[in-house]
Structure 1
Amino acid sequence: MRVHLTAFCLLLIAVPASGEDLLDQVWDGDEGVSQDFIEDRDGIVLDLNAATVQDLASLPGLSYADAERIVAFRATRGPFRRPRDLDRVGLPRPVVESLLPHVTVSHRSHPREALSRLRFVRRSSSARGRPLLTGSGLHARTTYRAGDLVAASVTTDKDAGEGNPLDFAAGYAEVRSEVARLVVGDFRPGFAQGLVLSRWTRAPADLSQVVRRPSRQVGYRSTEENGALRGVYLEGMRGAWRVAALGSSARFDAAIDTSGQVERLTEGGLHVTDLERSRADALRETALGLRIERAAAGRSHFGMTSLRSGFNPPFKPQGRGPSGASATVLGLDAGASLGCLKVAGEMAQTGQGRAWAAGAAYQRRRIEAGLQMRDYGQRFQTLRGAGFSTFGDAQNERGVFAGLVWRTRRIRAASLTFDRAWRPGPTPTLPPGSARSSLTFRVRHAPLRRLLLQWSGQTRWDQVYKGKQQGVLPRRRRGLRMDATQHLGRGVQFLVRGDLVNAAIGPGREAGGSAFGELKVRYKGLRAAGRLTYFNTPSYESRIFEWEDAPEGMVALRTLTGRGVKGYVLISAKAGPARTTLRLWRQRPLDGRKATTEVVAQVDVNM
């Protein structure tokens, strides 16, 4: 016993900061890490193609940030062929030399995989027994992969009410090696903080978006319309340099005025009415882009991104957003990893305006913190950047986001975030300088082994235009949510939730609420879930958002307004390479509003 205690004390003295997470796992005793593994740490030999960030960070002389660089290099450029490939990661030479005795490489084959998905959606609604709308949607996707070398995907989607089964179609083919990547078809890359090119469309909502990383996935598999580039994407890597070029000719849905110019872009992708069909693919964008990036000293990088776009027909000059038949945007970015601290920033300039965003994230043991500041000019608009609305108003803003997360063994996460934004110029309904703020807290607590409690709340302040008579009024919205999840064992889980909302617009006030119970069962290849919800919200201002279980690859977000009950039943069964999922959803109003029924059937085949 004394020998083991002495060895453990020596280990506490010798292990650097990068091994603290590993020691926490041993101390907690619930992660399955053996004492022999700790004592034999210096004799570990890890596979570079299989080790996680935590595994690599446990090696002597390797920081957590450098371990992340190794995993990121492997993810973007494919598996290592030999240990000496660590020289290409950008780590200091002494660090590489110290790692060589502790790493190896297993040469992996490139397994072939084909995934197919077919989803059918039938939606109908009625009011007081009279049918209002009945429509069917159809979604299909087939993806093929040969390891990390070859990938191809084809996606089609038809929303309920649309007549053309190929209303939306996207696909791509990708070939990659250790030093190059080629994508042909539909794609959407994300670089730096996303001011010029991004896969994200909104300002950060949590700490994961404070310091953004380049997106791993370039090929486009989403069913979100008006989001992808279409053409050729080529990327090459040599040493610390990375260069990417793209050429695209894509279309947007847009509203065209009587003079033949683009008045505004339209979102949603629905083409049901004659007006919506007339706006489909009304705007063509041709684009050429270039990205150059260099990693310096293994812990920092510098980059430049440029994008030149042409529009046919041209945009109507409106004082904000794109204007004319062309637009050019240039972005400069940099980032650094300083132990537990990561910082990154980007500046972008167009002919009409400029924007910048910068963030810092700190993570050490049980504490995470982040700060992000942004300033999007009223006339700055790229259509492909993050944090802006395609309408050029609410998301073009100055803002600051800050957050803090604390974790213990029982408290899974306690977080507090604050976001405040100012609109730099007037909008069609709000004066210049209009602001919105939000303060959010979340606590996840596990007082017992199989019981998880969660509390969350948010307060928002902003302004809203209520017509010529009332004008602009202050608006405040407060929400409180309470969850309790009980794991009953043998794959059975029970969840109850309560939501309370209080909304105030000027002197008026209203309150709403909802509650539901949900049961989930997993047994071998069978999954089943059911939920029943009661809600009472006087108007849209006191609405409640509720996420629901849905077939894999599909997210169901409901907005609850009015008074009523709703529920769903989901059953999913696996037989051989196929999984079949059925989902029945029904919302019944108690205040005379419309009732809605939705049936979803989905089949996934993995070969």
Structure 2
Amino acid sequence: MRFRLLVLFALLLIGFAAKAQTQEDQLIKDLIESIAENLPEDYDLSELQDRLTYYRKHPINLNNTTAEELKTLVFLSPLQISNLFEHIRKNGKLIDLLELQSIPEFDIQTIQRLLPFATLEQSAMVDKITAANLLKYGNNDLILRYGRVIEKSKGYTDLPGSKYLGTPDRYLFRYRYTYSNRVSASLVFEKDAGEHFFRGPKQKPFDFLSGHIAFLNTGRFKKIVLGDYTMQFGQALTLWSGFAFGKSPDVTGVAKRDVGLRPYTSANEFAFLRGAAMTVNIAKNIDFSPFVSHRKLDASMTTIDGVNMVSTINETGLHRTQSEINNKNNLEQTVYGGVLQYRTSALSIGAVAYHTSFNRTFTPGTGLYRIHNFTGKELTNVGAHYSYTYKNFYFFGEFGKSLDAGLAYVNGALVSLSSTVSAVLLHRNYQKNYHNFFNQATAEASEAFNEKGFYAGLNINPSKVWSIQVYGDYFKFPWLRFRVDAPSDGYEFLGQVTYSPTKTFRAILRYKTEVKQQNTNLTVPFNYLDEVKRENYRAEVKWAVGKSFGFQNRVEVVQFRKGDAKAEFGYLAYQDVSYSPLSSRLSGNIRVAYFNTASYDSRIYAYEDDVLYNFTFGLYNGKGLRGYANLKYRLAKRIDLWGRYALYNYDNVETVGSGLDEINGKMKSEMRIQLRYQF
């Protein structure tokens, strides 16, 4: 019954809704969706959306920018950025944005993506830092969000053992201030479902609090950040915190877009440093970025010979049960060091060195696969990275070393083979005892150690309406892994064809296969490895009718097989609808989906629209229907209100979920409301 009400609500929404996403909003959504598919389902992408939303409002002047700034536009490859600067160096400043068509590697799709975020006009904004200017010309952005699962789960009942000690409500408070490209400040409070709201155990006063103040482009001091920040240098092998992505249909994504020091504004409770950092120009083309950080981290402890030792760092940021609360702030981490960089238009060389210390000792744990894990309290990391552009080649790489432990390196090249074909090659070798707590280099595993691999990809644009992306990746794990009791290897292949005859129609066909090895499920005296193969087939169409209606249809099939067992399948089909007349206060979109998967192994994830700066990765597992509706209403010129309702309706089940999240019945629904005030 409730699902029927959702569909009825959606149909009413289509009839009365109004202006929804602009073309630029749709572009941001498409970019994030393409990246999100290759990230963990709980990854916070608000940092990326924040960047893109800011540049849509304050476009980058292509005649007065830096490589570091352009790298924040993740759809631009390093070779494209280098070619842009080389074109300006040889021909002078751009006169018209249409001139981008004459720059090598700038295809029609790239130019269409870039135009909403770029300009050639010098900003008339006053940027001198004075109290009067900060008050008069600063931009303030305030977001308040509330959400919860409507049904009562097992964890909120009066259980004798483990249970959720807080309420099922989720709260977010986010304030952001920016002044030109000179000053930035933010403050973020967050409470997750199951946590105490105010002044719970180990809370002062909220479960999560983050903030920063930053001064930018102040003479020799390019950046000064106090509070929470991220450091992103090289190929993410030695020092990288915050947002990162790797293998995706954009095959050039394996070449990292390092943006250096940045203020942190996300609600993710793990991926940042806390303290002070700066970037200062010490000589022509030479920058130095010293930093210091001190944080308390969540950690699971184990007792060995009467001494509490760290077995695992917990990254979820959840503090719902007594055990999670006990693990909260168990570990203190201090990091200090610096990055030295030399940069010209064609060459960039950097050196990184920093030291990490903890107040407790790490133990590798009991599993044989963990024998090479970090032990002790102190760790020093050093590294060197480079990038060099020569004609139609872009070379990049990084070497990292954990002192008294292992070595890791990654090297690659982007090359423009012709006006319609570009290629990328990447080789990596991460030793099994390479230790690093700020490492997000391109890898098959979630962390870049105990892995060797070779990646090759092609971007082919045979015409303005067709594009083809292909990549293959072979990887090898020299040592044991979780549920893999022997050295193993595997490969991954993706092929995608896109047809876009107009701005309002796009069709995509994609095939992806991945083969790995894993311990057999059979009961045997000694484990041996079975081949695990997962194949994805996807067909998708996005189209519009007139200037108001937008549609997206997707069908996806997953085939999973392990060893000699019979293959199992998962299916997903959904319909998205949005309605966007030219002028109205009201806007919205809906999705209705059917899914049928044999087990969790054949599950399917799909990105879902949500309220601004919140991201949902729908898990389609089991059999049933999934639907959601998003609504946005402009209360006033600077005040927007969002609402979201989403529902799972499963077939032939008595409970939904597992453990403390188990719900009696066959439905699980959630709601979310958000208020945004810009002033």
TM-score (norm 2): 0.72
Between the aligned partners of 1:573 and 1:540, the Cα distance in structure 2 is 38
Corresponding residue SS for 1:261: strand
CA contact (8 A) 1:387 1:396 kept: no
1:99 maps to a residue whose letter is G
Deviation at 1:201, TM superposition (A): 5.5
Query: 1: CA distance between counterparts of 2:244 and 2:464?
Result: 35
Task: Tell me, in whole angstroms, the C-alpha distance in 2 between the residues paired with 1:556 and 1:601.
Answer: 14
C-alpha deviation, 1:195, in angstroms: 1.1
Deviates more, 1:505-514 or 1:432-441: 432-441
Q: By how many angstroms is 1:101 displaced?
A: 11
**Counterpart position of 1:39:** none
CA distance in 1, matches of 2:510, 2:94: 48
**Partners of 1:207 and 1:388 in 2: how far apart?**
12
Q: Distance in 2 between matches of 1:98 and 1:449?
A: 31
Cα distance, 1:223 vs structure 2: 1.7
Tell me the residue number matched to 1:545.
605
| Paired residue secondary structure (2:323) | helix
Shift of residue 476, structure 1, vs aligned partner: 0.6
Residue 104 (structure 1) shift: 9.4
Structure 1: state its 5+ residue gaps.
1-48, 57-66, 78-90
Aligned equivalents of 2:464 and 2:419: distance in 1? 15
* CA distance 1:362–1:440, change in 2 (3 Å): same
- For 2:596, the aligned partner's letter is N
Higher relative contact order structure (alpha carbons within 8 Å, sequence separation ≥ 6): 2
Of 194, 197, 207 in structure 1, the residue corresponding to residue 236 of structure 2 is 194
Q: 2:322: which partner in 1? A: 274
CA 562–73 in structure 1, closer or farther in 2 if over 3 Å, else same:
closer
Structure 1 residue 567 corresponds to structure 2 residue 567:
no
> Which structure has the larger Rg over C-alpha atoms?
1
| Displacement over 3 Å in runs of 4+ | 49-53, 73-77, 94-108, 124-128, 130-134, 199-206, 363-366, 391-396, 408-412, 447-450
2:373 aligned with 1:300: no
Count of matched residue positions in the alignment of Structure 1 and Structure 2: 529
Task: For residue 417 of structure 1, report the CA deviation from its aligned partner.
Answer: 1.4
Are residues 217 and 204 of structure 1, via their aligned partners in 2, closer, same or farther at CA, if it must alter by over 3 Å? farther
For 2:553 and 2:121, the matched residues in 1 are separated by 48
State the secondary structure of the residue aligned to 1:223.
coil
Distance 2:613 2:484 in 1: 38
Distance of 1:211 and 1:193 partners within structure 2: 7
* Aligned positions of 1:24-63 closer than 5 A: 53=62
- Structure 1 segment 512-527 matched on structure 2, within 5 A: 512-523=570-581, 524=583, 525-527=585-587
Q: What is the aligned-residue RMSD (CA, Å)? A: 3.1
Q: For residues 202-601 of structure 1, what are the structure 2 equivalents within 5 Å?
A: 203-205=246-248, 206-215=250-259, 218-237=262-281, 238-259=283-304, 260-296=308-344, 298-317=345-364, 319-350=371-402, 351-363=404-416, 365-387=419-441, 396-447=450-501, 450-467=504-521, 469=523, 471=527, 472-508=529-565, 509-523=567-581, 524=583, 525-574=585-634, 575-592=636-653, 593-594=655-656, 595-601=667-673
**Alignment CA distance shift 1:466-1:254 (3 Å):** farther
CA distances 1:544-568 after superposition (whole Å, capped 9, x unpaired): 1111111111111012111111100
Whole-Å Cα distance in 2 between the matches of residues 169 and 599 of structure 1? 24
* 1:125 shift after superposition: 4.1
Equivalent position amino acid for 1:204 in 2: K
In structure 1, how many angstroms separate the alpha carbons of the residues matched to 2:89 and 2:521? 66
Q: CA separation of 1:393/1:189 partners in 2, compared to 1, >3 Å: closer, same or farther?
A: closer
Determine which of 163, 168, 188 is the counterpart of 2:196: 163
154 and 466 in structure 1: CA distance in 2 versus 1, 3 angstrom threshold: farther
Structure 1 residue 437: Cα displacement: 1.6
More strand by share: 1
1:341, distance to aligned residue in structure 2 (A): 1.9
SS at 1:469 equivalent: coil
Distance in 2 between the 1:117 and 1:456 partners? 37
| Shift in Å, 1:397 | 1.4
8 Å Cα contact 1:320-1:392 kept in structure 2: no
Separation of aligned partners in 2, 1:465 and 1:201 = 30
Structure 1's 289 and 583: CA in aligned 2 closer, same or farther, altered over 3 A?
same
Cross-structure match for 2:145:
119
Alpha-carbon offset, residue 167 of structure 1: 1.4
Cα offset, 1:285, TM superposition: 0.8
Show the counterpart of 2:677: 605
| Corresponding letter in the other structure for 1:355 | A
Give the 3-state SS of the residue equivalent to 1:148 in structure 2: coil
Cα displacement string for residues 32-60 of structure 1 (whole angstroms, at most 9, x for unaligned residues): xxxxxxxxxxxxxxxxx97755xx6xxxx
**CA 1:107–1:562: 2 relative to 1, 3 Å:** closer
Within 2, Cα distance between the matches of 1:217 and 1:366?
A: 35
Q: How big is the shift at 1:175?
A: 0.8
Tell whether 2:67 aligns with 1:72.
yes
Following the alignment from structure 1 to structure 2, what is the Cα–Cα distance between the partners of residues 127 and 251?
Answer: 30
Structure 2: state its 5+ residue gaps: 1-57, 73-84, 96-119, 128-136, 158-162, 199-205, 365-369, 657-666
